[in-house]
Amino acid sequence: MSRRKSPLIPGPRRSRGRSTTPGPRRARASSPGSLGRRETTAGRVGDRIRVPSVDARIESSQQVMKRARGRAWLLAGVFGVALAGVGVRAATLCVSPSERTVALGSQQRWEQMTLEARRGAIYDRHGSRLVVSVDTPNVIVDPMFVDKDDIPRLSREVGRILDLPPEEVADKMRREGRRYAPLAYQVHPKVAAEILDLGERAFFLESDQRRFYAESDLAAHVLGYINKDGDGVTGVERAMDDRLRGSSVLLQRRRDRRGLDVDRLSDVDRASSAGMDVHLTIDRHIQRITERALKGIEERHEPKAAMAVVIDVKTGDVLALANTPTFNPNAIDEDQASMRNRVVLDAVEPGSVLKPFTVASAIDEGKVTVDTLIDCENGRWRLGRSRIGDDHPHGVITVGEVVKYSSNIGSAKLALSLGSDTYLERLHAFGFGQPTGIGLPGEAGGRIRRADRIKPIELATTSYGQGMTATPLQLAYALATIANGGVRMKPRLVTRVYDEDGVPAEVREPEVWGRVVSEETAAQVTRAMITVTERGGTATRAQVPGYRVAGKTGTAWKVEDGHYTDARIGSFMGFVPADDPEIAIVVVVDDPQVGSGYGGINAAPAFAEIARESLRHLGVEPDPALLDEEEDTLPDDDLLGADVTAPPLSDLVVVDRDSGGLGWVLPDLSGSTVREALVALQGTGLSVQIEGSGRLAAMEPAPGDPVPPGTAVHLTFQ
């Protein structure tokens, strides 16, 4: 028997030049665990290697097949048991699923969404709709139904209709794997109809809501606007946001396997929690009249801003509240300055318009009457280390003439006679130093010094509107108190709130705050204020033909960063008809760049326009006797507080037409009084700076020099 060579054990080495023969094999006894199998061990004896023998056993084909069948049956059994387990589990889930399984299935099958209710509308006092939420469609494209070869044509057509770049439209049409791609939100219904007219089933519409302000910028600062989330940001939209927005509804909609909505929202779903409708005291006709008057101020004087507010004297209703510049809530831009409601937010030094309230306080305290004489010290009065002056000196005048001539000295003496506690308490009773409570967001309260800390000179300057601040809205309600016979009404902007069923949810009736001064005191102050608009007063431009006007002008230096500047704030407040007041009006002009800075020049004409048109709208008949009286159109000069008798501007200053358009030619005003010089230069837009008193001794630039509007003119009087 030949010996086989194991493939795992190398054979014996052979050396060059000699031969090596294996040694004799040594048998190794089998161990008991070898089950009779013989094992041999290779060992080295000298240079010889022992090779173990291999016992080869070959299985039959029947044994191999038997083992394969066994394994197959084993795998089949395992898979069968697994499938049986899955079936049992599936049956269990179908018959009695767990809460967790149901919740997970609902999340995949149902979509939970929060539905915002239709926002309530806003109306004016006569039921005219000012703001409404309208249904507007969103344009959606389903890329699955877009023919790829048709994308260039469709993108051009759709881009033209929606005013979108064709590339942007094409990009959304090519979004594979998506069934929903918004193209445009809140489009006009006519635009949406053009999209549907294309006849492409890839485009469909979704209903959405848009806030629509019916008359663009009319009463924009009162109404305010909402943001993209539907939250009120300013104005009534914010103040009444909880009523206008209604309540949110949590709904569930089914989705198909692609994630698209199966259920559509119905109008019933939206109406079920619709917001409430709010009715305001605003009269849109008077509001439009007021805004038109402010536009006139803007065109004539180019101010930084202008404000006006109209109050119903007997009810305290706000009939109009306007600002310029203004904005369109339908198209909000980035100009935040134009959105500022200055009537409510801007507290500035009121100036001389505060004097009627000082006079009313002194009269009501029994200190004086309107006919009591008061010495105005010929225009110069020293108080401690300070000196108070009137630009046009007066000697002894009546308390009523303190209002007519706008005497700082007379007003200061009245305040000092009352004392700080009494006088400041009276100002608080008129509503100064605290918000009016109109309900508009961010209302300023103004500032008045504390009685225990105010100095005598500060009390004196407060009496004529310096060193304290007030908003135009505060002035309007304080003025309406005098016009209403001394009774102060609580401000009212909202009259009624209706729910979605038309049932009143809130009704706000006119409410009396309390009596501030007696009826007789109010009547005396009214007589004094009437003289302001008559011949010799400071506001003849505020006259309204056929009606007697009671008013007061004011011109204050503007304060910025705690310091007085050259800019002025002109104002006029008044009520008409003076004998039976219907409306109180306040007009404020902030830093006019062209023309006069005096309230009697820039604000009084706007007051007259508002009063005339508003009385006509309200049906208040003019007095025929007053129509027959000669209309007084003499120039005004509130800064001096004087009766104006100087010739009009055109007689003294002419526009130079031959000097390359440089502007005005300064006249020779040598020897003029302060009043005459200022009246001559009013309306030119020049910044007049005065030094000294008496007669004009020098002026710079010199007479005859051409100067543009805005140039500073220094006048020295001796």
pLDDT at residue 713, rounded to an integer: 81
Average pLDDT of 569-580? 95
Task: Determine the length of the chain.
Answer: 718
Tell me how many degrees the CA angle 532-537-542 measures, rounded to the nearest 5. 60
Residue 654, pLDDT score: 39
Checking if the pLDDT of 58 tops 50, the result is yes
Q: What is the mean pLDDT of residues 581-600?
A: 92
596 close to 635: Cβ distance less than 8 angstroms: no
Band of pLDDT at residue 108, cut at 50, 70 and 90: low
pLDDT of residue 259: 54
Per-residue model confidence as pLDDT tens digits over 70-91: 889 999 999 999 999 898 888 8
Q: Pick the more confident residue, 699 or 307.
A: 307
Q: What pLDDT is recorded for position 683?
A: 54
Does 444 have pLDDT greater than 50? yes
Per-residue pLDDT band at 492 (split at 50, 70, 90)? very high
Most confident of 53-62, 74-83, 583-592, 651-660: 583-592
Average pLDDT over residues 243-259: 68
Global pTM reads: 0.71
Mean pLDDT across the chain, nearest whole number? Answer: 82
My answer on whether omega of the bond before 472 falls inside 30° of 0, hence cis, is no
Architecture of domain 288-627: 3-Layer(aba) Sandwich (3.40)
176 compared with 482, residue with greater pLDDT: 482
Residues 234-247, mean pLDDT to the nearest whole number: 91
- Which pLDDT does position 675 carry in this prediction? 67
96 is catalytic: no
pLDDT band at 118 (very low <50, low <70, confident <90, very high): confident
At residue 271, does pLDDT exceed 70?
Answer: no
**Alpha-helical runs (H) found in 396-533:** 399-404, 408-418, 420-430, 456-462, 472-483, 519-530
- The CATH homologous superfamily for domain 113-280 is Penicillin-binding protein 2a (Domain 2) (3.90.1310.10)
pLDDT at 342 over 60: yes
pLDDT range class, residue 23, cuts 50, 70, 90: very low
Worst-scoring range by mean pLDDT, 203-212, 233-242, 431-440? 203-212
- The answer on pLDDT for 476 being more than 80 is yes
Per-residue confidence (pLDDT) for residue 33, from 0 to 100 = 44
Evaluate whether 113-280 and 649-717 have a shared fold.
no
Degrees to nearest 5, angle at CA 213 with 211 and 215? 165
pLDDT value of residue 185: 84
Give the chain's largest Cα–Cα span. Answer: 160
End-to-end CA distance of the chain: 154
Say whether pLDDT at 711 is over 80: no
Tens of pLDDT, residues 298-312: 999 999 999 999 999
* The pLDDT value given to residue 291: 96
User: Cα(198)–Cα(139) distance, rounded to whole angstroms?
Assistant: 13
At residue 42, the pLDDT reads: 44
**Most confident range, picked from 138-147, 192-201, 234-243:** 234-243
Of the residues 155, 352, 411, 596, only one is catalytic, namely 352
Give the pLDDT confidence score for residue 634 in this predicted structure.
Answer: 42
Q: Residue 255: its pLDDT value, please?
A: 61
Residue 571's pLDDT is: 95
The conformation of residue 673, written as its DSSP 8-state character, comes to B
Confidence of residue 54 (pLDDT cuts 50, 70, 90): low
Question: At residue 253, what are phi and psi to the nearest 5 degrees?
Answer: -125, 145
Listed by start position, the domains of the chain span 1-29+38-51, 113-280, 288-627, 649-717
Handedness of CA 571, 577, 580, 581 (dihedral sign): negative
Tell me: pLDDT of 523 over 50.
Answer: yes
How far is the C-alpha of 206 from the C-alpha of 185, rounded, in Å? 9
Structural fold of domain 649-717: Trypsin Inhibitor V; Chain A (3.30.10)
